[in-house]
Structures are given as structure tokens and as C-alpha cells.
Structure 1
Amino acid sequence: MSVTSGRRADSGEALLRRMAARRRRDNVVVVILAVLAVFGGGHAIIDAFSDPPPGPSDNSTISLIGRSQLAESFARDFVVTYLSAAAGQQDRIQEFVGSAQQATLPTTGRQVSDPSVVYVSRELSSGGVDVWGVTVSVRLSRRVGAAVDDSRQCYQVSVAMVEGRMRALALPAAVEPPRHGPELALNYGATCAADTPLAQVAAGFLQALLTGSGDIARYTTPASDISALRPAPFTSAETSVINADDSSCGANGSTARVLASVNPKIDGAGSPTLAYPLTMVREAGQWQVKSVDSIPALHLPLTAGSNPAGGGTGASTTTTPAKGPASAAQVPQATQN
């Protein structure tokens, strides 16, 4: 009997503890709901127990891009038509903007060419109506003495779109063109002499890439999948400056980021300088190009400011003087002629 009574007492105490714990949890929930109701209203309570809204789908993204392109095309045509219109051609303007917008047109319209959209943004979207702000750049030709000035000017247009139908909200406004931003510091701290391993391989690679002369496989890794340009755009290519993040310019290390500047020519005639960001690796003692990179190597953390002359890096890095060859660059044997 004593054993049975002890078990019943223990069972009753455990039950009381569970009930007390449940009341404490219920009290906490009530407090949380009260706080949400005070600060966020009923929506806050519903949102607290609902799943987050789904992100944009592929279809919605594609649709948004399509509407953006429609607004760009409309604004581009409007700016060209408006600036080239002359007095008596008000009907051309009313194809884009309502008659309430009074426009005074010159006796002779301007010569407009090369329209280009430089910026577009959706400023408002409500109830199936989108309002876009579009900035269009055009060339406006005018004669200044004996010369012709065809400098670019920018105009901003507000475009309302309802179910794919568009209308300008106002006449175009001349605006300032996009400003030039500060330079980002590049991560090339050394300028390499022409007889250093990195410079030798980069020069041979660019010669094969741009002119088709030589075997480009001698300068690239087997997995790079880089081939010479066809047809060859140039007849010669002289490498001018090699900047690298390797202070030894290939005498040491196994990986290097290189920025190679080259002066190509077509049948002896000069062409503008080109720059190639390269990633190079050394395998079995041989430097080779692993990839032609889409962007140069940037100093991290990103630093905005003017790059110092010579090294091509930001102020937080140090330019190393040109290095002589510690050892000659080894290039694999040609596999084709």
C-alpha cells in the first residue's frame, strides 16, 4: 500500500508540474500576441504565423524585363521624333504625348542620330499601371562655323504603361549625362620587364591569340579551352606593359594575375591599345594562361580613387620596380605550325 500511495503521489506531482508549465507557455503566447496587436495590428499577428511571401518567379522577371524594353523603345522614338520635328508637325508629337502638353517647335528640326537608352527605372507600379523613367542619349548635329558639332545630349522621359499601351506623361527634359565614377584600385603591384617569365608567356599568348601566328596551345593550359581568334583581327601585336600581382614576375609562386597591354596593328597600320586580364599558373615549371578574365584583378576590400601611375594599383598597394628574369620562361613545344 505504501508503495502504491507513493506512486500515486509522484504521478500527481508530475501532473501539476506539467499543468504549471503549460500555463506559463500560454501566458507567454498571450503576451506576444498582445504586443503584436498593439504595434502592428491584426496583420502583424497573421504574418507571425504565415509563411514569407514567395520571391519573384522566372515568368514575372521576364515580364518585367519585357515591359522595361517596351518603355525604352517608346522613349527612344519619342525623343528622336520630338527633337527632329519642326513647326507645323504637332501631329507627330501627339503620337507620344497628350494635346494638353503644349510644345513650341522650331522652324527647322534638329538632325538627330544614334539614340541610346542610358538609364531606365520603374518609378511607380499600381493597379496594372507602370510608370517608367527613361534617359535617352542622342547625337545632335549643329554647325559651328566651318565645323560640325555632333556631341551627345541626354533627355529624360516619363512613360506610363497600361496593359502594354504607352503614353508620355510630359515633354522630354534635357538632363545631365551620367557622371564618370572614380577608379577602382587594381591589384597589380609589379610592372614586369619584357624578359621576365610572366611577360614572355603573356606576349607569346597574345601574339597567337590576336594574329593567329604560332601555336596558342604552347601558352595555355589543356583545360583552358582558349583558341586563337578566327579570322585573325590583326597582323601583328606588340606587348607594351605587363602588370602583375606577383612581385617576382614569375620567378616564384604558382599562380599569378596579369594585366597585359598590347598594341596591335593591321598591315602595319596602328590600332588602339588593348588590355587583357589573365590568370596564369605554373605547372611542371612552365607558366601558362589558365583563363582570359572578364574583369581585372581588384584590390580587396574595394577601394575607389585614382590609380597611381606605373603599377596600376590603388594607394593601399605598393608598386614594385621592374624585375629582371630570375630564370627564363619555359614554354611547351609547339604542337602545330
Structure 2
Amino acid sequence: GFVSSWLSATKYAPGDLATDFDLSALRQLSVTAWEYRDLSVVSITPVDGSDFVNVVVAANIKELSVTDSDDTSTTSWPRRYFQVAIAVNGDTVRAVGLPAQISAPVQGETTSLVYKQTIGSSDPSAETVSAFLGAYLAGSGDLSRYSAPDTSFVAISPAPYVMVNVEEMRSDLTPTESPSDGDTLKVLATVSLLSPLDQQVTSTYTLTLTARASRWEVSAIDLAPQAVSDKGSTTPTPTPSGNGN
């Protein structure tokens, strides 16, 4: 990305920055590239009344701190934030100007979610979620067995994990023992994952379950958790399918 090119560019090796920006407009480039890691997009905000989009990117930047008392130095990797103006023209985008460092965005208030009911691992809905995620993430079983009709979920391939374990599952409603056709359940599953290299990570998945023939099936991998709202949900409409590639 543009911020990556900007941080990596040096006087003698401008790299991709030369293709994105007129280097003659720059006063000078550093002889040594900035070292960074964990670069990620924080926000993308359209600018009202224009064709511009404000993009905020964060990265951990290697910095050196010097202590005046004993002239010793220490290395740290603080999280730094940069904003870039992007011009959007149809299907094309282009950076306008160079990145500018800004302070960390202010954190918003905690959002209250609808998942208030804890579901035991032996509940049929939990069994569906466990089997679905196992097939989706680890290739264990037939994904279509746990998917609602008219969905087109595709298991991630090659499978990134060898073990998927649902540690906790919460839902918006208490599921009935024999759900009626068309009943829906919003669930938030916390899962522990193990890679073939014995690496562990914890993730959360928000799913929509729909009942058919007295059993639960996954009808959507939701785009976002379901928030509590007096005016109804403000979360995006879930997709009826998931593409793992």
C-alpha cells in the first residue's frame, strides 16, 4: 500500500513511491528506511461533498529513546497512525498528497450486543455451530450438511487449522428443543483454533441459524455482531454465503 511504500522509500531506493508520487516535489528522502510491522487499515471515511476518501492506517514503528541521565538508548515499537487522502474516480483510486501522522483515534463507547443467552455444548444449535466451523475452517466433514438451503458456503482451502474447538457460544434467544421451520437464532461463538504448526489463536464468529425439519442449520456468516438498539438492528445485512478463497 501507499503508506508502506512511503515508510520504505529511501533516497537511493524510492521503490513504489516513485510510481505513486512525483518525487521531484519532495524536498528529500531518508537515507535509511523506517522499520515497521503490523501495518493495518484503521478506518475508511468518505469526505462529504467530494470524491475523496480519508484512510487511516496504523503500524508499529521502530523508534529509539535516549535517556539524558546516562545517555543510554532503548528501542520500542509504538503504534503510530497516518492518514491519507484518496481520490476515487469510478473504479480507480489514487493517493493525493503524502501520508500525515496523526494522534490515535478516540475510542468509541462499548457497544451492547444481543447475545445474552449462554448455550451449552450439548445443545443442538451448539452442535451445528461446532460442526459447521470444523468443516469450514479445518475441512472436517461435509459443510453442506450444516448449511441451510440456498446458501453457497465454501470451506477455506487449504484448511488453515487442524483443530476447531468452540469455547463459548451465546445467542440472542434461548433455543427451543424442537424449533419450528423458519425460526432464527443469532449466535456469537468464541473458538480456539490450532494450526498445523501448533500455533494457537482465538477467534469469534457471528452466525445466523435457521430451523428446518426440527434442526438448526447455518443460514449466514454475519458481517458484524448484532447490536442492541431500541430502533432495531443497525448492523449490516448478513450474507447468505461465504467464500473461503
TM-score by length of 1: 0.48
Q: Which residues of 2 match residues 66-215 of structure 1 at below 5 A?
A: 73=2, 95-96=24-25, 111-113=34-36, 137-143=58-64, 148-155=75-82, 174-215=101-142
Which of residues 279, 290, 295 in structure 1 aligns to 2:224? Answer: 295
CA-CA distance at 1:297 after TM superposition: 1.8
Give the aligned residue type for 2:160.
P
Which residue of structure 1 lines up, in the alignment, with residue 158 of structure 2?
A: 231
Which residue of structure 1 lines up, in the alignment, with residue 203 of structure 2?
A: 274
Which residue of structure 2 lines up, in the alignment, with residue 251 of structure 1?
A: 177
Between stretches 146-155 and 233-242, larger displacement belongs to: 146-155
Greater fraction of residues in strand: 2
Secondary structure of 2:229's counterpart equals coil
Secondary structure of 2:201's counterpart equals coil
RMSD between aligned residues: 4.2
Q: Note if 1:265 corresponds to 2:191.
A: no
Greater fraction of residues in helix: 1
Give the aligned residue type for 1:209.
Y
Q: Distance in 1 between matches of 2:187 and 2:95?
A: 49
Bigger Rg, which one: 1
CA contact (8 A) 1:211 1:237 kept: yes
TM-score by length of 2: 0.64
Give the direction of change, closer, same or farther, for the CA distance of 1:131–1:231 in structure 2 (3 Å limit): closer
CA-to-aligned-CA distance 1:165-200 (integer Å, 9 cap, x gap): 9985xx976421222222221111201011112111
Q: Distance in 1 between matches of 2:217 and 2:96?
A: 57
Q: Distance in 2 between matches of 1:189 and 1:120?
A: 32
Instruction: Provide the identity percentage.
Output: 25
Which structure 2 segments of 5+ residues have no match?
12-21, 66-71, 88-93, 233-245
CA contact (8 A) 2:147 2:218 kept: yes
Give the direction of change, closer, same or farther, for the CA distance of 1:272–1:250 in structure 2 (3 Å limit): farther
Q: Distance in 1 between matches of 2:214 and 2:125?
A: 12
Q: How many residues align?
A: 206
Give the direction of change, closer, same or farther, for the CA distance of 1:242–1:143 in structure 2 (3 Å limit): same
Secondary structure of 1:273's counterpart equals strand
